[in-house]
Amino acid sequence: MQDQLSDGDPSPLADAEAPDPALEADTRGKPHRRRGRRRRTDWRLGGTAVRTWNGGLLIVALVSLGAAIFAGSLVTLLWRSPWAPLASTAILWVGMIAPVVVAFRRGRPAGLLRFRPADLVYALTLGLALRVLDGWVTDAASQPFPRATLTPYWLWTDAVPAGLVGPVVEEFFFRTVILVAVYSLLRRPVGRASAAIAAVLVSTASFILIHVVDGSLPLSESISVGAVGLVCATLVILTGRIWGAVLVHLVYNVTMLLLIAAGSVVATGQ
């Protein structure tokens, strides 16, 4: 899908894989080098790298995620320790990171890892808007101000995982592996527009599902989490880049941590 948010090359020349010089004979019989075709700059137009992100990769991703969920659940069930939830989350992350590594070893979709200053603008505006939406959906104004005990334990078991690690891992799994693989599978059979819509919906649905399955999401909050998934997936489809979605997710999570920290400081000073 090509639109005003994208900086990819919409011309037919963008469909070329790489310069393909060849020798041709001119009218005098002398060989000369044929003009090479331009390298593809946008994964949404297809290409060898994108074609390797296929149904096989989706199976790898689902199997890896399912095994991680099962192993993480066992850790939580059998290990009676304050560190058990963090260990379970770490196992889940490993299950997400493994398919990402497999995917990028197969190929790197053109432009997906490109960064633009506009991604920072998207992060601030969309991340803050999503946090406001979450406050409205969960009726935060009628609830006690969020707070926690600000200790090194909280920092390493809650703040760093939720604020820094989680958004990066989740975005690369759901908005690169899942989204790009679904788009790649459907682009030719149904067209780019329909493939983009399907990729956004599948990515968002799986993003909601994982938060429900691991017990970190009450069903009443699925709307706000779904909004995060929908916005991030749509942003990747419209721009062709992943970093905007990563930063949106980071802003969304970090603002909640800042509210918790502020509430804790106010409560301590009272």
What tens digit of pLDDT does each residue of 185-213 get?
A: 999 999 999 999 999 999 999 999 888 87
Residue 83 has pLDDT above 60, yes or no: yes
**Average pLDDT for the chain:** 83
Band (pLDDT 50/70/90 cuts) for residue 220 is: low
Q: What is the pLDDT of residue 16?
A: 39
Band (pLDDT 50/70/90 cuts) for residue 17 is: very low
Buried b (16+ CB within 10 A) or exposed e, 232-251: bbbbbbbbbbbbbbbbbbbb
Of 142 and 127, which is predicted with more confidence? 127
The residue with tokens 């939830």 is 85
Residue 141 has pLDDT above 80, yes or no: no
Of 215 and 121, which is predicted with more confidence? 121
Task: Please compute the mean of the pLDDT values over residues 240-260 and round it to a whole number.
Answer: 94
The residue with tokens 């920290």 is 261
Q: What is the pLDDT of residue 261?
A: 82
Q: What is the pLDDT of residue 76?
A: 87
The residue with tokens 């890896």 is 64
Band (pLDDT 50/70/90 cuts) for residue 216 is: low
Question: pLDDT tens across 165-180, in order?
Answer: 999 999 999 999 999 9
Residue 9 has pLDDT above 70, yes or no: no
Q: What is the pLDDT of residue 181?
A: 96
Q: Give me the percent of the chain exceeding a pLDDT of 90.
A: 53
Task: Please compute the mean of the pLDDT values over residues 52-66 and round it to a whole number.
Answer: 94
Q: What is the pLDDT of residue 13?
A: 35
Of 35 and 135, which is predicted with more confidence? 135
Residue 25 has pLDDT above 70, yes or no: no
* Tokens linked to 138: 């969960």
Of 270 and 233, which is predicted with more confidence? 233
